[in-house]
Amino acid sequence: MTKVLIQNGKVHEIFGASVPPLTPELMAQIAEAPGNVEEGWDYDGLTFTPPPPPPPKSASPLTAEELATILVTKGTITDSEVLAIKVAR
């Protein structure tokens, strides 16, 4: 087991098997955790859980051609309107 400092319900610091001298207030926030726990994990007083995975990276922006194809396919605009937009550019 590893000793960790818990602050605001999260693993704030990992010490390993021994804890350096700390204030009594901080010592009261020390918990024993499994060796796989990492900083930032949640702790509810009983269970350690990893944070949720980061959201997927957003896709690259659409080109004007790709957007036009999507809008025509959905019936939002017509081929003629796409042509008018291209001519206006």
Is 54 within a domain?
A: no
Q: What pLDDT, in 10s, does the model give residues 62-83?
A: 888 888 888 989 888 888 888 7
CA distance 45 to 50: 14
Q: What pLDDT, in 10s, does the model give residues 16-27?
A: 889 999 999 999
Q: 70 and 39, same structural domain?
A: no
Is 37 within a domain?
A: yes
Q: 63 and 42, same structural domain?
A: no
By residue range, what is the domain housing residue 33?
Answer: 2-49
Q: 36 and 64, same structural domain?
A: no
Is 77 within a domain?
A: yes
Q: 71 and 43, same structural domain?
A: no
Pull the structure tokens for residue 1: 């087991």
Pull the structure tokens for residue 43: 């702790």
Q: CB neighbours of 76 closer than 8 A, spacing ≥ 6?
A: none
Q: 42 and 10, same structural domain?
A: yes
Instruction: Point out which residues pair with 43 in neighbouring strands.
Output: 48
- In the predicted structure, residue 49 carries a pLDDT above the cut 90: yes
Q: 63 and 45, same structural domain?
A: no
